[in-house]
């Protein structure tokens, strides 16, 4: 195979738009030098001239002429009689440049050279893709569904890059078909071998933040800032917003007239219910707002060492009886998000508890914490509130067995009998 024929066989790389001419020449020279080094032991005395646009390649070996029988290194020295076969008037001590044909390397070396070139080109492409998407981590990205697996959806973007949307990063109500356009945030980019693994997420709080930036001009322009986000993907989210401009109502600007601005975000997130809350540095007021739609009577805060406890403190919130279920929310979702948003453990107490009533937490030595939590999820946080309820109703509204409920009521009843 002649040099020019070999270069022409690399035309697919020459037309690769993801690699510039200078880089291609550098890769070609690196690959050829590696082949020369394997064949001759060293490539230091070789000149390689490449013109990938025309398909030209020339390799020249430079050697010094020595007297016959005096050559110690055939790669760097050439005996006088051999030199004069190239040019009759060469003399000892002169430099000889001789063109090397690739066919002289052997067919096996040429095949290895081509495979090495393919590998280097792919490695270069993978590195570029990795760097490109690494810079996009945390940003919204859109791609098209290529095929669907049981544990992930495989997407392709306009450049043919493969992006993975794992099941764990999908919203519960997500349903995709081949060809659908999907939006999410680039959650992570890793090199696995030589191939970049690009993970897309639709469940990340960052996706909600970026959707606000994209859909609400004041957020994009920095007039409204997002101070915190708590999210149960596809179910409910709370987002705290603030503005340094007193003329702007941050909540009103984000929601829009009759919810016009936030409607597109809600639809994108599978009808996720989004509470937009006015942020404040007043901790008591912020906790009260975070528990909306419940109306809080009073808030008392006990601060923690956050590094040790993972929370800033514990909050005791007092509410009217009819507000307790609103504060807790269905399956405890509202209070859980409020706790995540504010950074506090939140304990809800009913206003006007009779003196002889006792909070369920007082029975933690006899009743398991998760059982108490089940009652609190439906707004029952005192002994009498549990005793007043019918067992069948409690079975329906909690995840507790009838036997467990009866046992709890027995323990509570004994307290009052004593």
- How many Å from the N-terminal Cα to the C-terminal Cα in the chain? 102
75 and 154 within one domain: no
How confident is the model over 196-200, as a mean pLDDT? 92
Tell me if 409 is assigned to some domain.
yes
| Within a domain: 302 | no
Considering the domain architecture, whether residues 69 and 165 belong to the same structural domain is answered as no
In a domain, 170, yes or no: yes
Q: Which of 15-24, 250-259, 323-332, 389-398 has the highest mean pLDDT?
A: 250-259
**Predicted pLDDT of residue 19:** 60
Asked whether the predicted pLDDT for residue 8 surpasses 60, the reply is: no
Residue 221 lies in a domain: no
Domain stops at, among 152, 168, 202: 202
Task: Look up tokens 């016009």; give the residue.
Answer: 260
Same-domain status, 15 and 75: yes
Of 170, 202, 234, the residue that ends a domain is 202
Is there a single domain that holds both residue 14 and residue 100? yes
Which range, 230-239, 298-307, 321-330, 355-364, is most confident? Answer: 230-239
Pairing of strands 162-166, 140-148: unpaired
Report pLDDT digits (tens) over 45-63: 888 887 766 656 788 889 8
Let me know whether 81 and 163 are in one domain. Answer: no
Show the domain range for 74.
3-131
90/144 same-domain check: no
- Whether 141 and 127 share a structural domain: no
Decide if pLDDT at 409 tops 50.
yes
d(CA 78, CA 55): 30
Indicate whether 56 and 169 sit together in one domain: no
Tell me if 13 is assigned to some domain.
Answer: yes
pLDDT of residue 1: 41
Mean pLDDT to the nearest integer, 378-387:
84
Region of poorest pLDDT, from 1-5, 121-125, 187-191: 1-5
Q: Tell me whether residue 335 is in a domain.
A: no
pLDDT (average), residues 166-192: 92
Q: Which of 78, 105, 131 is the last residue of a domain?
A: 131
108 and 170 in a single domain? The answer is: no
- Of residues 403 and 122, the one with the higher pLDDT is 403
What's the pLDDT tens digit per position in 250-295?
A: 999 999 888 889 999 999 999 999 999 999 999 999 999 999 999 9
Please, are residues 224 and 250 in contact by the beta-carbon 8 Å criterion?
Answer: yes
CB atoms within 10 A of CB 175: 9
CA–CA distance, 29 with 185 (Å, rounded to integer): 39
Residue 331 has a pLDDT of 80
278 belongs to a structural domain:
no
User: What is the secondary structure of 305-371 as a DSSP string?
Assistant: -HHHHSSSEEEEEEE-HHHHHHHH-GGGHHHHHHHHHHTEEEEEEETT--TT--BGGGGTTTS-HHH
Number of domains in the chain: 3
How many CA atoms are closer than 13 Å to the CA of 134, on its beta-carbon side?
9
Are 51 and 150 in the same domain?
no
Distance in angstroms (rounded) separating the CA atoms of residues 171 and 203? 6
Look at residue 17 and tell me whether its pLDDT is greater than 50.
no
Claim to verify: residue 127 and residue 167 sit in the same structural domain: no
pLDDT digit string, tens, across residues 300-353: 887 766 665 667 888 888 888 888 888 888 888 999 999 999 999 888 887 765
Residues linked to residue 99 through DSSP beta bridges, in sequence order: 60
- Six-digit token string for 322: 């009819």
* 7 has pLDDT over 80: no
Could you tell me the CATH number of the domain that includes residue 36? 3.30.1480.10
Flag whether 253 is in a domain: no
- Looking at residue 4, its pLDDT comes to 45
Whether residue 105 is found in the same domain as residue 167: no
At 20 the pLDDT is 61
**Number of neighbouring beta carbons within 10 Å of residue 216:** 23
Of 15-29, 31-45, 164-178, 362-376, the range with the lowest mean pLDDT is 15-29
Q: What percent of the chain has pLDDT over 90?
A: 35
The widest CA-to-CA distance across the chain, in whole angstroms, is 124
Lowest model confidence (mean pLDDT) among 15-24, 142-151, 226-235, 399-408: 15-24
CATH at residue 155: 2.40.50.140
Report how far apart, in Å, the C-alpha atoms of 246 and of each of 215, 243, 250, 347, 372 are.
Answer: 21, 7, 9, 33, 44
């Amino acid at each position: 195979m002649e040099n020019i024929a070999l270069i022409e066989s690399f035309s697919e790389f020459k037309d690769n738009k993801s690699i510039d001419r200078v880089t291609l020449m550098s890769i070609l020279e690196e690959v050829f030098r590696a082949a020369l080094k394997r064949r001759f032991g060293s490539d230091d005395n070789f000149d390689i001239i490449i013109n990938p646009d025309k398909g030209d390649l020339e390799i020249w070996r430079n050697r010094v002429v020595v007297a016959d029988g005096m050559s110690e290194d055939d790669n760097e020295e050439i005996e006088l009689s051999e030199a004069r076969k190239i040019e009759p008037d060469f003399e000892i001590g002169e430099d000889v440049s001789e063109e090397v044909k690739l066919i002289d390397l052997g067919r096996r070396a040429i095949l290895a050279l081509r495979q090495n070139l393919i590998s280097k080109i792919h490695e270069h492409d993978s590195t570029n893709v990795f760097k490109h998407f690494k810079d996009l981590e945390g940003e919204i990205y859109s791609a098209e569904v290529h095929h669907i697996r049981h544990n992930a959806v495989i997407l392709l973007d306009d450049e043919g890059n493969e992006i993975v949307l794992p099941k764990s990063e999908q919203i519960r109500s997500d349903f995709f078909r081949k060809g659908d356009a999907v939006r999410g945030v680039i959650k992570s980019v890793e090199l696995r071998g030589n191939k970049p693994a690009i993970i897309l997420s639709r469940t990340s709080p960052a996706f909600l933040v970026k959707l606000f930036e994209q859909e609400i001009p004041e957020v994009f322009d920095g007039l409204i800032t997002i101070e915190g986000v708590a999210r149960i993907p596809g179910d409910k989210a709370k987002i705290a917003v603030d503005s340094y401009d007193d003329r702007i109502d941050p909540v009103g600007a984000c929601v829009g007239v009759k919810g016009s601005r936030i409607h597109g975000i809600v639809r994108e997130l599978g009808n996720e219910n989004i509470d937009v809350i006015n942020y404040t540095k007043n901790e008591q007021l912020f906790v009260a707002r975070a528990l909306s739609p419940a109306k809080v009577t009073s808030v008392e805060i006990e601060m923690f060492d956050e590094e040790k406890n993972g929370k800033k403190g514990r909050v005791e919130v007092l509410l009217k009886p009819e507000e307790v279920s609103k504060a807790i929310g269905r399956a405890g979702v509202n209070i859980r998000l409020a706790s995540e948003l504010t950074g506090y453990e939140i304990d809800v107490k009913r206003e006007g508890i009779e003196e002889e009533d006792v909070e369920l937490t007082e029975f933690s030595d006899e009743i398991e914490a998760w059982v108490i939590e089940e009652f609190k999820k439906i707004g029952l946080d005192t002994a009498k509130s549990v005793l007043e309820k019918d067992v069948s109703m409690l079975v329906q509204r909690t995840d507790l067995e009838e036997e467990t409920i009866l046992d709890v009521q027995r323990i509570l009843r004994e307290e009052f009998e004593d």
